Amino acid sequence: MLLEVERLDVRYGRNHAIRALDLELAEGEIVTVLGANGAGKSSLLKAVQGTVKPAAGAVRLNGETVTGWSSPKRVRAGLTLVPEGRQIFVSLTVHENLQMGAYSRSDNFDREIDEIYERFPNLAARRDMLASVLSGGEQQMLAISRALLARPRIMMLDEPSLGLSPILVQSLFDLIADLNRDGLTILLVEQNTHMALQTAHRGYVLELGATVLSGTAEELLADDRLEEAYLGGN
Amino acid sequence: MDLSQLPQQIVNGLMLGGVYVMVAVAFTLIIGMLNFLNFTVPALFMLAAVLMWAILEGHGIALDLTAIAVLLVLAMMVADRLQQARLPASVKTVGALGLVAGACVFLWLILSFKPGPAVFAWLDGAVGASGRWLLGIVVAFATVAVLSLLIERFTYRYMKAKYGDATEHALPLVSSLGFLIVIEHTVISTWGSDSLTTESPFGNASFELGPVLFSVPQLLSLILSLAIVFGLSVMLKTTKLGRALRSIAERPDTAPLMGVEVSRIVPVVYVIAGLLCATAGILFTINYTTVDAYIGDTVATVAIAGMVLGGLGNVWGAIVGAMLIGMVEVMSIYMVGATFKKIPIWGLLLLILIVRPTGLFGHTAIGKGKF
Ligand SMILES: Nc1ncnc2c1ncn2[C@@H]1O[C@H](COP(=O)(O)OP(=O)(O)OP(=O)(O)O)[C@@H](O)[C@H]1O
Ligand SMILES: [Mg+2]
């Protein structure tokens, strides 16, 4: 397994956000994590990336336990997170945001930046402008490109489709499938259940920090309990 | 009023502004990145100025203070290593106790034998009194650099570790005030609170250009200060470190996702800010030859005014603001007398803030996107 999460517990004071959660991600997979607001999806990704400390449990990357590692160290080990709300640096230019993505690397990444500009002409046109001028969709492209520049093995995305128009949502999921075809392993947190399950191979449904349902995408799509998890989740 | 003196006064104002610029930029770096007003900045300025004075005047005890500062920081670093090491808790406890005991013994040795004067006398003999200013620079830089690490730990890092949020700025502000008081009183208990005067190691080297008299050390200081600040802003703008600093300033929680080791970079910022203050302090002693334990307070209020005037957290704003304040100060001493010099400075500040609450070059959102 490329990524294993074992009996993970995340607590914020008395608030128990993740409860003894198990999750596996094999090389080359797209796995989606679904759940209502407050189910603990972001907390899971943050604990895997290392920005919140789990109260218990283990995270293993390629068999190696990384639970005590800082998040920069996990980035260098090939794990990257596109956080909820994009979180691009609006006081930096578009180009500088991309350079920040490659911060952990010491080799030359000019060609990769050129490829990104080819793929997203909108970013190329705004290369030297502050990232604050970008539209929501462009910001999401920048956030994903920035994460790609770290040359990750696993990319985790936290609700990337939030706030995008239906056409952009479609092209976003196409992009995710593309990246996966090129060999990137993906852990995708989504509210857009239907689109996520059409793109992913497998899925987990969380409720109050625990898995209530898991299986292949086809199984989940056919399961009535999926809807219940959303209605009963809060 | 004798208008023929005006060009001279303008030049004097620029020179004084040069000192304020470095202190204002030191404030700006910390407030821009970490969103808190660091009151140790003026204390470090004053300490460097006084240490420079002490060495120029042959007070070897300054070396003892340096030794104590270095000792404290070394002990702190060893304690860090110890805490992170994979050792049984009992071994760590014994190690920590040993460390504290060792540090106390060294402290006691330094305080009771005061080796500084003897070491100084030996160095002085080797280098000669005319080279004291070089030793002064080394002592002031070393002390301020290591103290900056100590201060970082107990203002920023402590908050981050304890509460996971160092942008909660009331507490670091208070602990930095604590450092200010400790440093001031260390100086007062060593050398008293009166004016301390010395002679410039460079004499009164000067040249005339038309009606204006330029002091060579002052002119060199101004050039140096502008060069340093210019270099710093180029660094912020174009280098990888600069980008990392700006990303931390905007989103301290997102920068680590890019692989930025925030906890390693923040001490670097403290040291850079500290060295700016130290440079300003050293130049102050050389140029104005009179210091006391309270010069930090004066310079700080003026530098803060300059920083606010230019726009909080903006390096170029701090430069223009500080130069402007330096000018206003010298001009108002010249026109209305030293007693009232504060009225024009703070009057100007109030006026500009009423018209432009963000300062001359400030962003509207204070604390966001600051460089
Ligand atoms: N920093 C925090 N401090 C305290 N409680 C938190 C914190 N972050 C999240 N929580 C709590 O943990 C629980 C899970 O939050 P989390 O953000 O992981 O949910 P989520 O599934 O990502 O929700 P959403 O779909 O709204 O993004 C919630 O009850 C939330 O209130
Ligand atoms: Mg979330």
pLDDT in tens, B79-132: 888 888 888 888 889 988 999 999 999 999 988 888 889 888 888 888 887 889
- HSE at residue A104, side-chain half, CA atoms within 13 A, is 26
Residue B136 neighbours by CB distance under 10 Å: 24
Q: Which residues pair with A186 in a beta bridge?
A: A30, A155
Structural contact between residues A110 and A74, judged by C-beta atoms closer than 8 angstroms:
no
Mean pLDDT of A67-86: 95
Cβ atoms within 10 Å, residue B10: 15
Is A150 in a helix, a strand, or coil? coil
- pLDDT in the model for residue B144: 97
Averaged confidence pLDDT in chain A = 94
Q: How many helices (H) and strands (E) does chain B have?
A: 14, 4
Q: What is the mean pLDDT of chain B?
A: 86
What's residue B109's pLDDT? 92
Contact B263, B160 (CB under 8 A): yes
A38 CB under 6 A from ligand 1? yes
pLDDT at B369: 44
- Assess whether the C-beta atom of A46 lies below 6 angstroms from ligand 1: no
User: Is residue A144 very low, low, confident or very high in pLDDT (cuts 50, 70, 90)?
Assistant: very high
If phi > 0 it is left, if psi is from -120 to 50 it is alpha, else beta; for residue B119 that is alpha
Cβ atoms of B316 and B233 closer than 8 Å: yes
Confidence at residue A100, expressed as pLDDT on a 0 to 100 scale: 97
Tokens linked to B189 = 């208990």
Would the pLDDT of B368 be above 50?
no
pLDDT level of residue B165 (50, 70, 90 thresholds): low
8 A C-beta contact, residue B315 and residue B33: no
Report whether A67 contacts A56 (CB < 8 A). no
Nearest neighbour of B259 by CB, restricted to A51, A83, A103: A103
Q: DSSP letters along B34-78, please?
A: H-S--THHHHHHHHHHHHHHHHHTT-THHHHHHHHHHHHHHHHHH
* Residues, chain A: 234
Could you give all domains of chain A from N- to C-terminal order, each with its CATH number?
3-88+152-232 (3.40.50.300)
For residue range B171-219, what is the model confidence (pLDDT) as tens digits? 777 788 889 999 999 999 999 999 999 988 887 788 888 888 888 888 8
* Contact predicate B183/B49, CB 8 Å: no
Residue of A nearest to B84 (CA): A68
For A191-202, the pLDDT digits (tens) are 899 999 999 999
Pick from A209, A207, A229, A233: which is nearest to A220 by CA? A229
Residue B3 has pLDDT above 80, yes or no: no
ipTM: 0.93
* Measured distance CA(A153)–CA(A27) in Å, rounded: 8
Q: With 0-12 CB in 10 A as exposed, 13-18 as middle and 19+ as buried, what is A151?
A: middle
Ligand 1 pocket test, candidate residues A41, A81, A87, A205, most atoms within 8 A of CB: A41
Confidence of residue A119 (pLDDT cuts 50, 70, 90): very high
Nearest Cα of chain A lies from the Cα of B32 at a distance, in angstroms, of: 12
Is the CB of residue A192 below 6 angstroms from any atom belonging to ligand 1? no
pLDDT of amino acid B366: 44
- Give the separation between CA B232 and CA B26, rounded to whole angstroms: 11
Nearest CA to ligand 1 atom 3: A12
Ligand 1 contact via A108 beta carbon (within 6 Å): no
Contact A49 B257 (CB under 8 A): yes
Please tell me the number of the ligand nearest to residue A36's CA.
Answer: 1
Higher pLDDT, B356 or B281: B281
- DSSP-assigned states of every residue in B185-224: HHHHHHH-SS-EE---TTTT-EEEETTEEEEHHHHHHHHH
Query: Model confidence over B9-26: pLDDT tens digits?
Result: 888 888 888 888 899 889
pTM of the model: 0.87
Q: How far apart are the first and last CA of chain A?
A: 32
State the Cα–Cα distance between residues B325 and B305, nearest whole angstrom: 8
Is the separation of the CB atoms in A155 and A147 below 8 Å?
Answer: yes
pLDDT per residue as tens digits for the range A102-116: 999 999 999 999 999
Residue A21 has pLDDT above 70, yes or no: yes
Angle between helices A136-148 and A110-119 (to 10 degrees): 150
pLDDT of B163 over the 80 cut: no
pLDDT at A234: 42
